[in-house]
């Protein structure tokens, strides 16, 4: 007899997924900070080590979803492409959550 069970809030993911999730977490922190986040805020907000933060920030810059400004104290912003991606991601999240799937 099958029994329905609540969908867990977190789940282990593949390497690609965890990388993707980190990308999204970084972009969410920038979005939360009114699209103007310093590296320290991102580091704590996305729960990353300094080395990994540098790596992911440069990857996101290469993807053209975030941009860096400031010379002495760096500040990160979402680009138009990044904002559009986050809007689409929110819709995907809502759609999946409606069916009880966590992404």
Partner 1 sequence: MEFIAFVIAMAVGFQARKSYTLIRERTLLYLSTCFILIGAGLLVESLADLTVLLNRFHRGFLFLSGVGYTIDFFAQALAYCILIFAYLKQTRAWSSQLTAAIPILFFEHNAFSELILVFLLAYIAAQTAINYSVSKTTNSLLVFGAFASLAIAHVLFLFFTIEPIFFPLAHIAQLFGFLLLLQMLLRVNKAQ
List residues binding partner 1 (CB under 8 A): 1-8, 11, 16-17, 20, 87-92, 94-103
Q: Which is nearer to partner 1, 50 or 81 (CB)?
A: 81
Identity of the residue, 16 or 71, whose beta carbon is nearer to partner 1 in the bound complex: 16
Q: How far is the CB of 103 from partner 1 (least distance, A)?
A: 5
Contact (CB, 8 A) for 74 and 39:
yes
Residue 69 backbone dihedrals phi, psi, to 5 degrees: -130, 170
> Residue 23 is inside which H or E element, if any?
helix 15-32
Nearer to partner 1, 20 or 35 (CB): 20
For the bound state, the minimum distance from the C-beta of residue 31 to partner 1, rounded and expressed in Å, comes to 12
The nearest distance, CB 61 to partner 1, in angstroms, is: 20
Minimum distance between the CB of residue 7 and partner 1, rounded to whole angstroms? 5
The CA–CA distances, whole Å, from 10 to 48, 54, 68 equal: 18, 25, 31
Distance between CA atoms of 20 and 38, rounded to whole angstroms? Answer: 21
Distance CA 64, CA 80 (A): 9
């Amino acid at each position: 007899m099958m029994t329905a069970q609540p969908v867990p809030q977190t789940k282990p993911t593949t390497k690609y997924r965890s990388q993707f999730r980190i990308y999204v977490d970084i972009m969410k922190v920038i979005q939360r900070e009114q699209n103007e986040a310093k590296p320290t805020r991102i580091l704590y907000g996305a729960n990353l080590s300094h080395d990994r933060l540098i790596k992911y920030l440069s990857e996101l810059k290469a993807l053209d979803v975030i941009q860096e400004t400031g010379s002495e104290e760096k500040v990160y912003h979402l680009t138009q492409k990044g904002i559009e991606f986050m809007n689409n991601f929110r819709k995907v999240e809502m759609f999946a959550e409606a069916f009880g799937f966590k992404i």
